[in-house]
Amino acid sequence: MSDLTSKIIGVGGYLPDKIITNFDLEKIVDTTDEWIKTRTGITKRQIAENQTTSDLAIEAIKDAINNANIDKNDIDLIICATTTPDLTFPSTACIIQNKLGIEKNIIAFDIQAVCCGFVYALSVANDIIKSGKIKTAIVVGAEKMSSLIDWKDRTTCVLFGDGAGAIVLQSTNEENTGIIDTELYANGNYIDMLKTSGGTSTNQVAGNILMDGKAVFKHAVEKMSSSIQNIVKNNNLTLEDIDFIIPHQANYRILSMVAEKLNIQNEKFIITIDKHANTSSASIPLALNEAIKQNKIKKGDLLIFEALGAGFTWGSVLVRW
């Protein structure tokens, strides 16, 4: 069992149809296209109207299953990373299982680490596969962030979008491939810097996003940079060995600062925030899906997925493609 690892064999993504550009936001809040682009790099975002988070997830998963060339009944585990679940309970993962029509008994649960949710979920799925108890897993990051947005708050409403990205993860004995290492961190001392104004046991409402933008920016640069450095060092690699970094798409300036701090060429970063905005846990798999469709990633490439989310939660995943 100890020789097992997990390999990504399929990737999929989905974005809802409705597009809201920066020019659209100019009509409803005191902002401008130039202001948004200069500070975030975002030009548009896509918003789900008559869809739930599980609806978005299902489309991304179907895409990933098709690209992996497996049957849905091969799936042994579904982990959904989300901060916008369909219901307080049951888990969105169980709702996804039902909508996929998987009737056999599997493992299904949600992970809530906000923007770092996909990194957390991938780490957990990898550990379960390595235990030898299952063979094939779906890890999906799916978010309807528009349900948490106060459209009158120009500091947050310009930042977020809806979407889902999914991967199929499968056990393998193949050497020098798949997930090499994962590193997860959290520090609850920073909870007030990024949170919602509501919750089930607080006031029985989901609430809106509240953010101290300058503080989040500072911590994101610092913690994302250190996470990349740590996972590289701990695996006896250098930053020059890494072919691509696929980060959480929070803010273009954050990613530029990370690149500058680590002295990494900007070309090594896969960037999709201009088209998708911040889709929270969906952003890394959506960016990975874009890179694959553009044939940027090739077999043997070394990748790092890395993110920071509210909590704060942060971490990295090192992958040999």
**Which amino acid is located at 312 in the chain?**
F
Is residue 255 within a helix (H) or strand (E), and if so which, with residue range? helix 252-262
183-211 in b/e form (b: 16+ CB < 10 A) is: bbbeeeebeebbbbeeeeeeeeebebbbb
Pick the catalytic residue: 22, 67, 94, 115? 115
Pick the catalytic residue: 248, 251, 276, 289? 248
Angstrom distance (rounded) from CA 178 to CA 173: 10
Let me know if 116 is a catalytic residue: no
Nearest CA-CA partner of 184 in 69, 87, 308, 297? 308
Let me know if 115 is a catalytic residue: yes
Q: Kindly state the DSSP code that residue 193 receives in the 8-state scheme.
A: G
Pick the catalytic residue: 22, 67, 278, 289? 278
Let me know if 278 is a catalytic residue: yes
Residues 254 and 217: beta-carbon distance below 8 Å: yes
Catalytic residue numbers read 115, 248, 278
